[in-house]
Amino acid sequence: MRILGIETSCDDTGAAVVEDGRILANIVAAQDVHLEYGGVVPELASRAHITLLPQVVLQALATANTTIDQIDGVAATIGPGLVGSLLVGIEFAKGLALARGIPWVGVNHVEAHLVSAGLEAPLETPYIGMVASGGHTEIYHVPEPGIFQRIGSTRDDAAGEAFDKIGKLLGQPYPAGPHLDKLAREGKPDAIALPRAKLKGDTLDLSMSGLKTAAKLIIEKEPRPIPDARLHDLAASVEKAIVDVLVERLDQALRRYEARAVTVAGGCACNTLLREETARLAAARGIPARFPSPKLCRDNGAMIAHAGSFALRRGETTPFSATAIANLDSFSPLPV
């Protein structure tokens, strides 16, 4: 089954052709219109998707050496995301599907991140997966391919948001995650004491806001400019605190659920320490730790096509009346 995947939930315009879990093309156009604003401007994002998407789709088809007649189905992100941006991809997918007489399927963006490592090597079920990005930090149990049970989530900031906000206080450009990662490699992770939030009750949820406030209070008292060695120690300590919270949750999840693998996806899955600690956790249990390569950690159409293929193979399609669900979570059923 050859599927065209379309991703327009935020500020990356993505289109990919995926055949039975194999990537034939995966094109992502990053929008540069937001650079001068230091964050994504929703209205500019939807307009840029309108301009970029047709070109990106054509480029994906050409790279995959595929004509539109050879596409068996179209998958597009239906949520969560920016409503105007989502609409561009969804209406494009519906138009194409209607014109070609093929099915379209709406895909949950977070679940698509979760399965992305499966595009590079088989991801055996059952598995435990975490999606940690600038917008999401969620933990899933996946008992069988294409069945997603969310078992934990951040109660406040996403992991990437914590990296970005604390990194900004340390004078790092947006997104600060990769910069902190680099600085942290030369610092001592136990140099500065930072809290790891423990939530009350029996939960796999997590929280980053206490850590963020504690880091802010410490960083505000630092001399300016912060000496290099101290900056390295601060970055290493912040990274360790964030990663400890994430990995402790993965550990808890692995104790509760049967798992033959563990996967971490989303932008933060590029983090050096998070990869090391997750790999260590998995090794202790004798299971593989799987991370998508950096290209698949960012938003892309291939993960959307792959996630959509589970539904399409089950014969599930999305009605043409369905539309964007900006706050879609795994508990909201997709339109049928």
Q: Which residues bind ligand KG4 (CB under 6 A)?
A: 10, 133-135, 160, 163-164, 175-178, 181, 266-268, 270-271, 298-299
* CB of 161 or CB of 299, closer to Zn ion: 299
Helix (H) or strand (E) run with residue 16 in it: strand 12-19
* CB of 108 or CB of 317, closer to ligand KG4: 108
Residue with the closest Cβ to ligand KG4? 267
* CB of 39 or CB of 286, closer to ligand KG4: 39
Give the CA distances from residue 263 to residues 25, 118, 119, 336, in Å, rounded to whole numbers and listed in that order: 23, 9, 12, 29
Task: Give me the least distance between CB of 318 and Zn ion, in Å please.
Answer: 20
Footprint of Zn ion on residues 96-135 (CB under 5 A)?
A: 133
Q: What is the DSSP string of 210-256?
A: HHHHHHHHHHHTS-SSPPHHHHHHHHHHHHHHHHHHHHHHHHHHHHH
Under the criterion CB under 5 A, does residue 138 sit at the interface with Zn ion? no
Task: Give me the least distance between CB of 207 and ligand KG4, in Å please.
Answer: 17
The bridge status of strand 73-79 relative to strand 2-7 is: parallel
CB 164 within 8 A of CB 176: yes
Helix (H) or strand (E) run with residue 95 in it: helix 83-100
| Among Zn ion, ligand KG4, none, partner that 160 touches (CB below 5 to 8 angstroms by kind) | ligand KG4
* CB of 122 or CB of 173, closer to ligand KG4: 173
Task: Give me the least distance between CB of 36 and Zn ion, in Å please.
Answer: 23
Q: What is the DSSP string of 158-200?
A: -HHHHHHHHHHHTTPPSS-HHHHHHHHTTS-TTSS-------S
The binder of Zn ion chosen from 28, 299, 309, 311 (CB under 5 A): 299
Task: Give me the least distance between CB of 180 and ligand KG4, in Å please.
Answer: 6
Query: How many CB atoms within 10 Å of residue 305?
Result: 36
Q: Which two structure tokens, joined as six digits, stand for 180? A: 């902190």
Question: If you search the block for the tokens 């219109």, which residue do you land on?
Answer: 33
Task: Give me the least distance between CB of 99 and ligand KG4, in Å please.
Answer: 30
Query: What is d(CA 273, CA 256) in angstroms, rounded to the nearest whole number?
Result: 24
Of the listed pieces 16-24, 157-165, 238-246, 299-307, which binds Zn ion according to CB under 5 A?
299-307
Task: Give me the least distance between CB of 77 and ligand KG4, in Å please.
Answer: 11
Binding site for Zn ion (CB under 5 A): 133, 299
